[in-house]
Amino acid sequence: MRNKENIVKNHPKPTRLLRDIIIISIGLMISSFGTALFYQAGMGSGAMATFSDGLHRLIHISYGTANMAANAVFLILLFVCDRRMIGVGTVLCVFLIGVFVDIGNAVFSCLPIETASIPIRFACVLAGCAMMGVGLGLYVAVEQGYGALEGLVKYLCARTGLGFDKVKIGQDVLLTGLGILLGAEWGVGTLVSAATIGPIMRLGISRFQPLLHKEIYP
């Protein structure tokens, strides 16, 4: 049976780690560019952004501070639940997502997305959700540590036996609902992201895992 022991045995650990870092970085870049495209459409925010917006309105701190505080709390929760979920992927999430989102915003702001018609903006929302789902699916499939939210989803999947998409949708709906109750701004894109990113991630994970965990790497 193919397993991680076979992979480590057949390939030098530094080489495998470097390969995984590159793949995780690519996945995070795709996801972050999707986030930027979604943002430029101006039809609502993703689940975590909605929750952070509500939090910053509730306790009167900046959005950035609220987002960092929420992520820190979720990361601590993940550490308490299962510290094995934390690894190089977790570190890359912390340092790369913000950079990639900024680059994506700079690129997409050059396009007339904000002033485009509603159908075009909605198409950008769908494209952004697809990019987020595929990118997150790619980095999760590497299995070298997760961001706080993805790690908690994996933990709950293991504890409950539920599918990744169901737990992810539940998590996104919960964060979105809490954000809205706290007074966050939202739109149709908020609802679309909560319903679609989880299933797209699950599909991406199921496609990428067999390729990434072969006994012989290409």
| Domain range annotation of the chain | 12-212
CA 129, 134, 135, 141: dihedral to nearest 10 degrees? 140
Provide the pLDDT for residue 7.
Answer: 36
Position with higher pLDDT, 4 vs 154: 154
Q: Where are the alpha helices (DSSP H) in 83-143?
A: 88-108, 118-142
CB under 8 Å to 39, separation ≥6 — which residues? 45, 101, 105, 128
The pLDDT of 127-132, averaged and rounded, is 96
Residue 154 pLDDT greater than 90, yes or no: yes
Provide the pLDDT for residue 207.
Answer: 93
C-alpha distances (whole Å) from 207 to each of 4, 11, 40, 142 are 18, 22, 29, 12
Under the banding of pLDDT at 50, 70 and 90, the label for residue 10 is very low
Give backbone dihedrals phi and psi of 185, rounded to 5 degrees, phi first: -75, 145
Q: Provide the token pair at 31.
A: 């996801």
CB under 8 Å to 141, separation ≥6 — which residues? 204, 205, 208, 209, 212
Percentage of the chain modeled with pLDDT above 90: 71
| C-alpha span between 209 and 72 (Å, rounded) | 28
The pLDDT of 93-116, averaged and rounded, is 90
How does pLDDT run across 109-123, given as a tens digit for each residue?
Answer: 999 998 999 999 999
| C-alpha span between 128 and 197 (Å, rounded) | 10
